[in-house]
Structure 1
Amino acid sequence: MKKYTENLKSAILAICLLSSILTACGTDKSTTEPITPDPVATTGDVTIYVTTNNRSSDFAKKFVDFSKTSNMSPTTITLDPTTTYQTMDGFGAAITGSTCYNLLKMAQADRTKFLKETFSETEGMGQSYIRIAIGCSDFSLSEYTCWDTPGIENFGLQNEENNYIIPILKEILAINPNIKIIAAPWTSPRWMKVNNLTDLQPFNSWTSGQLNPIYYSDYGTYFVKWIQAMAAKGVTINAVTPQNEPLNRGNSASLYMGWEEQLAFIKTALGPKLKAAGLATKIYLFDHNYDYDKVASQNDYPVNIYKDAAAAAYVAGAAYHNYGGDKAELLDIHNQRPDKDLIFTETSIGTWNDGQNLSTRLMDDMQDVGLGTINNWSKAVIVWNLMLDTERGPNREGGCQTCYGAVDINKSDYKTITKNSHYYIIGHLSAVVKPGAVRIGASGYSATGVTYSAFKNTDGTYAFVLLNNTTDVKNITLSDGVKHFSYSVPSKSIVSYRW
């Protein structure tokens, strides 16, 4: 036993001695100092943004360099700037009364930080297009227009514009003065409404009704006065639509306006009035669903108006929402009138489509709304409320009480923000695709679940936005015909590139 004990002690001593020698020689560094990870690139030839549907990457900014070796990758996508499509106007969200209310509840420093992250071209996503209401919307703090009493002397911007909308727009414009703004009325002043175009009886309701033709001229003046009033406050209105969701009679603030009415209003009043006032504000038709709310007589709504040359001369194009029908309608309208523009102006997430579940919504919304509309000729993508609170408000009866915002702010502190799918899909586009960029061709590698769009910016840089809606990592090489680089795209992710 004594001999066994001595041998054991000798073995232990030998092991300890060997460990000391290995440590001194640096063979086992983990016992004395942490292993230094490879440095993360902070600069590079290509800027990349990555968001995964499990938030493991949350709009993460990364960099890679061009490859110095020849490209033999079978998963190469090659850009083709000689094939061109539409010129892009921008990407953004709606700045509603509810959005502004929530933003103004934030501490100034927190609000400025969020607005910079969202709109700054140098410090954030660079969102570039905003939608606002002319008068109230279903996400306003009250029901009103800017001319609720007859007599032009009674026209004027109201509390919501002066104390909520305009102050927020000014903060945004100070961050990004190049922002475009499109506006739409949810309803005309009630004194301009009738029950229908046969009886022509007064219709004193915020909801439904139709515009009395005898007030076409006055309503055209309303648009002009409102655009001029906003300009006097330092807010330029780049475009308008004559009516938000003109086939929807049921919204809390609404007005039915079939294509025949919209044609007559534009041709006889809105178009001539804007022109006479020297306003360059564009007019977009329709502003409603792909399926025309299943009203057969309203199919191809904008095309019917384009057939009248005098009316069409005042019109830049048409706007669409996605609450009914399919984005393929955009391609159909483009093919019928390729000389007219298309923009996408509203989509919502809410309790009905599991709107806060990023694992599904990020993929679906980028597929159908982000890249889906662009690949069908849309020049802009705008989602609904930029910010709602954690009780989906402020909201009103008759409006959407089940909607989420692009982001939701905690009502208990007006500080904690949850970013939803719409915030990411817009940010992934606006961060790399700048206003004036041209969508270009791209070909090569393809796979089910992989969708993309390619662009060339006005400064000569390329932009590429890719959706990987698969469970596999995709090691994809991008080539502009001169330079190439590779990046491993995570599963279930959106990746945006600029170089």
Structure 2
Amino acid sequence: MTKFKMYKSTGEDALFVSVSQDQLKPQDSGTETTTILLDDQQTYQEMDGFGASFTDSSAYLINQILSEEQRTEVMTRLFHPEEGIGLSVIRNPMGASDYARTVYSYNDLPENQTDPECSGFSIAHDEADVIPLTQKALELNSDLKLFASPWSAPGWMKTSGSMITGQLKNEWYPAYAEYFVKYIQAYASHGLPIHAVTPQNEALYEPGHYPGMLMPAEAQADFIKNHLKPAFVRNDIQSKVLCYDHNWDRPDYPLTVLEEAGEEVDGVAWHWYGGEASAQTKVYEAFAGKEVHFTEGSGGEWIPPFEQAFSNVIRTGIEILRNYSKSFVLWNMALDENNGPTVPGFGKSTCRGIVKVNQQTKELTYTLDYYALAHFSALIRPKAVRIDSSSNEASIRSVAFKNTDGSIAVVLFNDGEKTGNVQVQLKEEELLSFQLESKSALSILINQE
């Protein structure tokens, strides 16, 4: 006997709604049917999971602005595998990003001072909000994996002397590798193992109004091969090293890093602010065995609400997963009513968080990103393996996974302009037939007993 658990989103007022088989609209006999063919014999990547980031801003809002009751609710709804949507990846900035209340690193020094041994290193800043929330997330979901990425090295290590702009000076490559070691060891002492790091967030972008650091591909390869990985080996650190951590439009960058430091690199991290998800497959096929991760994509006011914004997350999420990614990580876990807080001087923020915390009213709202992520994370569990899903109509997008318990999770999205007939088949056997409205998402968990 086959059992189905299904969730459907048809619009702003009907997001991730539980539906039964009887509640699905029967097919229209006068319309052609799109067949989604599932093949669990054809397998691809294993999932680590879905998530977002506890930026300084997000952690502050959840840990200090919300009441204890609200905080318990939101953490449960974010991370608990049964009572929530089971997020299982957190990517935390190492130091300040653009979404921080101040500019800080873990080793800030007065001008013209240096600290080659990083003896002044401290994660005290994170102990206020980021670490307690990350510990709570791990308590709620034991499958949680932690990723970490710096927006900048400490200013004294850089050509600019500041966390704003500049590049890492050659003479401080060893000290910067030690900085990573100390971060991983410090988090481990709080019971938080770091699964993977990237050497630099968005290494090709040098913002003038928030922390950032240019790191050309050759420099990143040198840093990973001759400094970071050897430091990990010396200190018996098992954390993975992912290169790049930037947009799809420059696959030449990770290809260069993998060419020059492939032995020391475990995979590639990608963002969605330029190019197409197919870049992930291009690099994956050139360097088989290297992991693919999607580590940042933010929604925001540059995409019109609601339909275009929701559709973008679902559509792009499906493409990210169809192009070998083991993770799908959005950006801020929480932002406030002004899309902040942001670092001083940042200007107007247009990003959207997974939840919104109103600093004035203390109201907690779950945004469209929460429900879009839910379509994936609530059904596709950690260690699920992607299986083949094909469609005879391009406008009906799909991705499918087989969970460790044998259940099959399918995410469908009608990207067409009109309602369509859909039939889901597994190994030639028809499982479900229904109508799917334009720009609607349907997630199906199939249990065959």
Map 1:58-97; keep pairs closer than 5 Å. Answer: 58-64=15-21, 75-97=34-56
Moved over 4 A (4+): 72-75
Q: Is structure 2 residue 433 aligned with structure 1 residue 476? A: no
Distance 2:162 2:43 in 1: 47
Distance 1:233 1:400, change over 3 A: farther
- Tell me the residue number matched to 1:317: 267
SS in 2 for 1:352: coil
Which deviates more, 464-473 or 185-194?
464-473
1:223/1:399 Cα in 2 relative to 1: closer, same or farther (>3 Å)?
farther
Distance 1:410 1:274 in 2: 41
Match among 68, 85, 89 for residue 129 of structure 1: 89
Cα deviations by residue, 1:110-160 (Å, 9 ceiling, x for unpaired): 12112211211011111111110111111112111111232533111132x
2:122: which partner in 1? Answer: 156
Displacement, 1:418?
A: 4.3
Unpaired runs of 5+ residues, structure 2, are 23-28, 110-114
Amino acid at match of 2:265: V
Partner Cα separation in structure 1 for residue 347 and residue 91 of structure 2? 18
Q: Give the CA RMSD over aligned residues.
A: 2.1
| Higher relative contact order (CA closer than 8 Å, sequence separation 6+) | 2
Instruction: Indicate which of 350, 364, 374 corresponds to 1:416.
Output: 364
Q: Which of 143, 152, 156 pairs up with 1:178? A: 143
User: Contact 2:35–2:392 (CA<8 Å) still a contact in 1?
Assistant: no
Larger Rg: 1
Q: 1:130 to 1:400 in 2, by over 3 A?
A: farther
Q: Is residue 197–residue 239 contact of structure 2 (8 Å, CA) maintained in 1?
A: yes
More helix by share: 1
For normalisation by structure 1, the TM-score amounts to 0.81
| 1:257-336 alignment, distance < 5 Å | 257-292=215-250, 300-308=252-260, 311-336=261-286
Spell out the pairing of 1:436-447 with structure 2 (5 A cutoff).
Answer: 436-443=383-390, 445-447=391-393
Structure-1 residue corresponding to 2:294: 344
Shift of 1:476: 2.5
Check whether the contact 2:106–2:122 (CA below 8 A) recurs between aligned residues: yes
**Number of aligned positions between the proteins:** 428
Structure 1 unmatched runs, 5+: 1-43, 66-71, 195-202, 293-298
- TM-score normalized by structure 2? 0.90
Q: State the SS of the aligned residue for 1:154.
A: coil
Task: Tell me the distance in 2 between the aligned counterparts of 1:181 and 1:271.
Answer: 18
Give the whole-Å Cα distance in 2 for the aligned partners of 1:242 and 1:54.
38
The superposition leaves residues 233-258 of structure 1 with CA deviations (integer Å, 9 ceiling, x where unpaired) of 12111000000011111151011100
* Equivalence for 1:233: 190
| Residue 353 of structure 2 corresponds to residue 381 of structure 1 | no
The one-letter code sitting in structure 1 at the alignment partner of 2:324 is W
Alpha-carbon distance in structure 2 between the residues aligned to 1:326 and 1:483: 33
> How far apart, CA to CA, are the structure 1 residues paired with 2:309 and 2:118?
47
Alignment match, 1:167: 132
Q: CA deviation at 1:274?
A: 0.9
CA distance in 2, matches of 1:58, 1:425: 8
1:114 corresponds to which of 71, 74, 83: 74
